[in-house]
A = this chain, B = another copy of it.
């Protein structure tokens, strides 16, 4: 089906030129509204096209200057229109292009580049790296072997990207179609790293849905860390190995995230907060807080929980051990 056929199927004007999030609605872009929570974010007089569910159509019509298209399942309609508009977005450009670059670069001959790639001076690209299209890499940044950089990625100066990392993969946003089958929404945002960012072996950061996923200056990421789409990590923050950050979460400056920690999506972690080893964070964390446990609470509280667990059952466990040892004695 061509884009115009799909637009016609849903009654959207065929002069539509793209898709966007509802907050960024603009002329001839298609967006959608299925949740009353977001009505207040619809801009007036944007000349956009908005797919709207029957239950919200009356309320949203009070916001002037857009075309509202009533449809039973706006999310499903949007998925279909959006993924069709952007069906070519996922790809690297395969084929062999030569990037623009500054002086003193070392670029291994086996590395592959898409189109519109710009490297600064002193950039080092190791063997078997693949770089997509519309990528900028700043001065003195080094990319180790086997790393994949997808399209629309900008890395600052003096970054170090370790081996086998994946930067800019498709964000994990799932939508259901009319038949109840699941699809991934194609992501059209990118990824942006500041200066002096380090990114560990086998770590992954997904590109944003419509805007960029961002790691600011001097963010340090250990091995095997996952960073979801639309995440924003501020200056000087560290993520230790095997931690996992859900989509759209914001982590402040000078934070510490311990090994194995998991932070759910859509949260805000304040500046200077510490998320301790393997903590499972499902609520916002205030500035400077130290949280631990499952689910994460102030570390002082979690330590009391653990001490209490140990204390309550210590006697029973010692008794079990005594009996087992007696029984083993009898068997010998």
Report which A residues bind B (CB closer than 8 A): 90-92, 94-95, 106, 108, 110, 112, 124, 126-128, 130, 142, 144-146, 148, 150, 160, 162-166, 169-170, 172, 174, 180-184, 196, 198, 200-204, 206, 218, 220, 222-224, 226, 228, 236, 238, 240-242, 244, 246, 254, 259-260, 262, 264-265, 277-278, 280, 282, 293-295, 297-298, 300-301, 304-306, 308-310, 312-314, 316-317, 320-321
Contact = CB atoms under 8 A, between A and B. Distances in A.
- Say what secondary structure dominates the interface of chain A: loop
Contact of A90 (B110, B142, B200): B142
Contact of A220 (B127, B174, B223, B321): B174
Contact of A241 (B172, B278, B308, B317): B172
Contact of A148 (B164, B180, B198, B224): B164
A304 B315 CA distance: 11
Contact of A182 (B95, B218, B260, B297): B218
B309 A181 contact: no
Contact of A313 (B165, B222, B241, B305): B305
Contacts of A174: 220, 238
A127 B127 CA distance: 12
A236 B180 contact: yes
In the complex, the 7 A-B pairs of residues with the closest C-beta atoms, listed nearest first? A148-B163, A166-B201, A130-B145, A260-B262, A242-B244, A304-B313, A204-B223
Contacts of A240: 172
